[in-house]
Amino acid sequence: MGFLPLLQVVLLAAAAAARAPAARAWGEEGHFMTCKIAEGFLTSEASAAVKGLLPEWANGELAAACSWPDAVRRQMPWSSSLHFADTPGDCKFSYARDCHGTKGEKDMCVVGGINNYTAALQDSSSPYNRTESLLFLSHFLGDIHQPMHCGRTADLGGNTIVVTWYNTTKTNLHKVWDEKVIETAMNRFYKDDRSAMIQAIKLNLTNEWSKEENQWAACYTRTTTCADKYAEESAELSCPAYVGAEQGSNLEDEYFFSALPVVQKRIAQGGVRLGAILNQIFSGKNNSSIQSS
C-alpha cells in the first residue's frame, strides 16, 4: 500500500476516534490494576501459560495488555457490546433479559463474553485465537466489576449524564467511575504512582478482606454462572452511584469519598476472580465452576 492510502486510513481512523462515544470501560489504570492483582495470584503453571499467550509487546506482563480490547473496538465492532451489560435501572441483572447486544443479539454482553472466552480457553480444540481469548477474558473481568457497566440502558451506563468533576473538568458519570475516581485517588494519596495504589489494595487483601476473599471466587449456584453474580453485584452498586449525580451536577469530595472504597474493592474483587479463573483454566482444573451450567 502506498503512502497516500495509508495516510487516508490513519486520518479516517482519527476522525472516527474523534466522533466515537465515550469509552465504556475502566480506564487504562483500572484494567492495569485488576490484571496486576490477578497476576499476583497465579500459580507458576498458570503464569507460564499466560506468558506464553501474551503478545510480544506486553513483555510478559498481563496487566500491560489488559486494555487491548478497548484499543480494537473499532476494528472489531461486534465486540463493543461485550464490554457491558446495561439494565433497566432496577438494580438487578438478569441474563435472559439483559445479556444482548444493542440490536438484541443474544449473549452479546459482558457476561456472555466472559463465559465465551472462559470456555474457549478451556477447550484446546476451540478455533478462537487463544491470545485474543485471554485478553478479552482478562479485560471483561475488569469491566464487569465497574458498577456503571451494569448501569441503566436509558443513559448508556451513565455516559449521557454530563457532570463536572471538582468544578473544573466536564465529564460524564460513566467516566467518573472509569477514570476520575482512580485518577483523583492516585493524585491525592499515592503521588500519581499506580504501583503504590496497587500495593494499598493488596494490603487490604491480606488484612481487611482476607476473610471474605475466599468467597469472592467461589460460585455454587447451578442456574447461573459466576459472571452472572458479578453483574448482579455491579447492577446493585450502580443504583446508589446515580444518587447525587443528576444531569449537570458538580461532583466533588462527598461523591469521591463515597465512590472510592467501592472502586478499590471492585478492582480487588476483579483481580482475585480473574486470578482464580486463570488458575482453573491453566492449572489443569478444567471442570471449573466458572463454566456455564
Ligand X SMILES: *[C@@H]1O[C@H](CO)[C@@H](O)[C@H](O)[C@H]1NC(C)=O
Q: Which residues bind ligand X (CB under 6 A)?
A: 55, 78, 82, 107-108, 112-113, 116, 122-124, 128-129, 131-132, 166-167, 200-201, 204, 208, 250, 252, 260-261, 264, 284, 286-287
Q: Which is nearer to Zn ion, 30 or 205 (CB)?
A: 30
Cα 28 to chain centroid distance, Å, stands at: 10
Considering the complex, what minimum distance in angstroms separates the CB of residue 180 from ligand X?
13
Cross-strand partners of 106: 100
25 contacts Zn ion (rule: CB under 5 A): yes
Cβ-contact 173, 181 below 8 angstroms: no
Q: Which three cell numbers stand for residue 99?
A: 445479556
Distance separating alpha carbons of residues 182 and 115, to the nearest angstrom = 28
198 contacts Zn ion (rule: CB under 5 A): no
Which of 56, 55, 105 has the alpha carbon at shortest distance from 79? 105
Considering the complex, what minimum distance in angstroms separates the CB of residue 5 from ligand X?
22
Which residues touch 13 (CB under 8 Å, ≥6 apart)? 74
Which residues touch 96 (CB under 8 Å, ≥6 apart)? none
Contacted by 83, from Zn ion, ligand X, none: CB < 5 to 8 Å by type: Zn ion
Considering the complex, what minimum distance in angstroms separates the CB of residue 197 from ligand X?
7
DSSP code string of 74-126: TT-GGGGGGG---B-SSS---HHHH-B-TT--BT-SHHHHHHHHHHHHH-TT-
Contacted by 52, from Zn ion, ligand X, none: CB < 5 to 8 Å by type: none
Contacted by 246, from ligand X, Zn ion, none: CB < 5 to 8 Å by type: none
Which residues touch 243 (CB under 8 Å, ≥6 apart)? none
Q: Which is nearer to Zn ion, 46 or 144 (CB)?
A: 144
Count CB atoms within 10 A of the CB of residue 229: 19
Contacted by 143, from Zn ion, ligand X, none: CB < 5 to 8 Å by type: Zn ion
Contacted by 261, from Zn ion, ligand X, none: CB < 5 to 8 Å by type: ligand X
Which of 78, 234, 75, 211 has the alpha carbon at shortest distance from 148? 234
Q: Which is nearer to ligand X, 88 or 261 (CB)?
A: 261
Contacted by 287, from ligand X, Zn ion, none: CB < 5 to 8 Å by type: ligand X
Q: Which is nearer to Zn ion, 47 or 238 (CB)?
A: 238
- Per CB under 5 A, residues contacting Zn ion are 25, 83, 143
